[in-house]
Amino acid sequence: MWNHSTAVGGVSAAGRGPADPRIVILMLCAAVALALAVPNIRNGVFDAMSTDDAMRLVEVNDLIAGQGWFDLMQYRLDPPGSLMHWSRVVDLPLAALILMFRPLAGVAGAEAIMLTLWPTLLFGAALVLVAAIAKRMNDGVDSRAVQLAAITLASLSVPSLIHFRAGAIDHHNFQIVLLLCFLFLTLDIERSRLSAGLAGLSATLSLAIGLEMLPAIATACVAILGLLIWRGNAVSRQVGAFGAALTGSSLLLAVLLLPSHSLGTPVCDAFGGPYLLLIAGGGISHRWARAWHRPRRQD
């Protein structure tokens, strides 16, 4: 007698288990990107940009046109110009995408492709990281089911989705992805010095873009110190690697992003000298705490 639960090839539906998260991620990414793009079909992606998105596009085009890497002045904004506090970290991939597509689609076409492609790629990266975090936090439950639940909930997080709509090239979507990357890596900090070091790098990179994630990253740094106090020598090397990466990457990014004369200048909502001291000092404190917990040789 035919069993209605029997699938093609004799494999039951129950036996197949949940769908492959990678396929679901692709489907959800495409569906959400399409849903967010529908309101812009009539007027075009350029009209979908916020004022910050438009300002970012102007800054990127000025960089492509030859404006200096360290020169963040917008000379057409409130002449003789206004100094922008945004980071070149975001400008660089946007400029690369425009230059990549210019020979194929022209100037306006390349900008339109970039305005659509960049937020979509970041949303896909966010879903991949959400699935990876769910898998890493899974405690004996069906891994695929947990991943599918996590990425479905992430795809329904309407307040966050606005940062991944077509035309959204301001830095907030990039910061969300970097924070998810930071969380994913810190979950493995007890087992891997490499993950600890990459966590420090992702934290610094996020703060070099903007300081919106500073409270979350600072809280995680305190939790990492708490882990060192709790576990002691078992995690001292990993915490030391995290501190070294935090300090080293902040100093490197300061050299790459900040002109030397600006290091002593007070800044607002931007990576600068005062926050460099905070980030590097946080990394040094983790290194010091690690040295304090280093095993002592018995005489």
CA distance linking residue 188 with residue 195, whole number of Å? 6
Could you tell me what percent of the chain has a pLDDT over 90? 34
pLDDT for position 298: 45
C-alpha of 250 from chain center: 16
Which among 11-15, 23-27, 79-83, 189-193 has the top mean pLDDT?
Answer: 189-193
Structural element, H or E, at residue 177 = helix 172-186
pLDDT band at 268 (very low <50, low <70, confident <90, very high): confident
191-205, pLDDT tens digit by residue? 889 999 999 999 999
Where residue 16 falls among pLDDT bands split at 50, 70, 90?
Answer: low
pLDDT (average), residues 36-62: 82
Residue 107 clears pLDDT 80, i.e. is over it? yes
**pLDDT-derived band at 1, boundaries 50, 70, 90:** very low
Residue 72: predicted pLDDT: 87
Q: Which residues pair with 73 in a beta bridge?
A: 83
Residue 2: what pLDDT? 46
Q: Is 200 helix (H, G, I), strand (E, B) or coil?
A: helix
**Nearest to 208, CA basis, from 160, 260, 280, 265:** 280
pLDDT of 142 reads 74
> Could you report the per-residue pLDDT of 202-226, keeping only the tens digit for each?
999 999 998 888 899 999 999 998 8
Contact criterion met (CB below 8 Å) for 144 and 103:
no
Q: Are the CB atoms for 19 and 27 separated by under 8 Å?
A: no
Helix (H, G, I), strand (E, B) or coil at 6: strand
Residue 101 pLDDT > 90? yes
CB 193 within 8 A of CB 166: no
Q: Which amino acid is at 150?
A: A
What would the DSSP string read from start to end of 62-84? Answer: HHHTT--TT--EETTSSTT-EE-
Question: What local confidence, expressed as pLDDT, does residue 5 receive?
Answer: 43
Instruction: Determine the Cα–Cα distance for residues 73 and 240; give it in Å rounded to an integer.
Output: 38
Average pLDDT along the chain: 83
For the stretch 112-162, pLDDT in tens is 999 989 998 999 899 999 999 998 888 777 778 888 888 888 888 888 888
pTM to 2 decimal places: 0.85
Q: What is the pLDDT of residue 293?
A: 60
